[in-house]
Amino acid sequence: MKLKEQMERRIKAEGKSPKTFETYWHYCENFLVWLRDENHGQWVHPKDVGRDELQEWLSAMANDRNCSKNSQNTALQSVLYLYRMLGVTIENVSAIRAKRATHTREVMSVEDVRNLFDHLSGVSLLAAQLMYGAGLRIGDVVSIRLKDLNFERAQLSIKAGKGDKWRFTAFPAVLHDAVRRQIEYVKVVWRHDTQDNPNGVSLPDSYRKKAPRAANELRWYWLFPGENLSKGHEGLLCRHHRHEDHISRQIKEAADRAGILTRVTSHVLRHSYATHAHEQGVPVRTLMQLLGHESIETTEIYLHADKNGATAAHSPLTQLLAAPQMRAEDQKPEREGVTQMDRGAIHYNGLRVYRGEVG
C-alpha cells in the first residue's frame, strides 16, 4: 500500500478530518521530494533516513524558504505522524525551529460587516451571514445538512466541526426566511437528483452501507449543495457540498469592492462574531460553548479586541488636546503696573481675550 493511501486510511480510522490528512500529506510529500532532491533525484523511503535528515529539512524551511513559525511547526508534526505510522520514533529534534508566536484575532467593525454584506449576494451572502451570525467556521457552514436546522428552537446542530466535535449553536431568527428560500432551491436539486443521480448525496464515513436509502432522502442534503456531481471519500459520483474556496474567494472579492481596509476572511467573520457578541453582553463561558472551544482560554483570545476592555482605557492625549495649552510667557510672574483688566486676560492662539472679546 502506498504511503499516501496508508496515511489517509489511518487518519480516517482515528476520526480526524479530511483537512487534517490534506495538511499532513502536503508536508510529508514536501519532505519526500526534498529527500529525493538531496539524493540526486533518487527517491528515498523515510525509513531509510531519520532525525538528522528531518532536522536539515526543517532548517532549510526556515533559512531557504523563509517559512512562518506556524508552518514549520505543522511540518514537523506532520512528518512525525508519518514516522509514528511507520512504527519509528524520532525524538529530540533540534533544528532551527521557533516557538509558535502568540497573537490576537483580527476583528472587523460592525460598519465594515454591514458594508461587506452589501457587496455580497446569493449563497455567498447567506454563508457569510451564518459565519458572523452564529460564529461558524466556513467548514461548519458548508457541512450543514437540512436535518441540522431547527427553526422552532432556533438552533443549528454542528456535527462535523473542527476535531470532529459535535455541538449546538444559535440559529438567528433573522436568517430563517433566507434559509427557507435556500431550502426551496435545495429541493429543486434533490428532485433533479432523484431522476438523474442514483447515488444521491454524499454521506459520512460508511453510513451509506448502514442506511443506503439516506443518500436519496431530502433531509440528508446539504444546505449549500455543489452545482456539479463529484467524487468524495466514498469514491462515488454524487452530490457534495459547495467548495469552501469558492465562498472564501467571493468574500475576499466583496471586501475589495467595498474598500474595506481591515483584512477580511471567512474566519475573521467568526472572530468578529465572538468579539461583538461579548461587547453586547454574552458571557465568555456561553461563547465558549457556542464556538465549540474546549477551554475558556481559547475563547478569551478572541476578546482582546473588545472595545469595552483594555482598549477603552482613556488616553492621556485626550485630556492634553481637550483644552488650549498655556504658553510659557503666561506662566511668568506679573510685572508691576499690570492693570486689573490685564490680570483678567487670557491668551488664545496669540490673541488677548477680555470677557469674551478679542483684542
145 is catalytic: no
Query: Which is the catalytic residue, given 24, 132, 221, 302?
Result: 302
267 is catalytic: yes
* H or E element, residue 354: strand 351-354
Q: Is 105 left (phi over 0), alpha (psi -120 to 50) or beta?
A: beta
Query: Which is the catalytic residue, given 145, 239, 270, 276?
Result: 270
Query: Which is the catalytic residue, given 137, 242, 276, 278?
Result: 137
4 is catalytic: no
Query: Which is the catalytic residue, given 159, 162, 167, 233?
Result: 162
Q: Closest by alpha carbon to 236, among 252, 212, 256?
A: 212
**CA separation for the pair 239, 274 (Å, rounded):** 33
Angle at CA of residue 19, ends 86 and 220, nearest 5°: 125
162 is catalytic: yes
With cell 513559525, the residue in question is: 69
Give Cα 161 distance to the centre of its chain.
Answer: 13
2 is catalytic: no
243 is catalytic: no
Q: What contacts 184, CB < 8 A, 6 or more positions away? A: none
Query: Which is the catalytic residue, given 12, 246, 267, 304?
Result: 267
SS3 117: helix
Q: Closest by alpha carbon to 53, among 115, 95, 3, 9?
A: 95
Instruction: Indicate which residues carry an active-site annotation.
Output: 137, 162, 267, 270, 293, 302
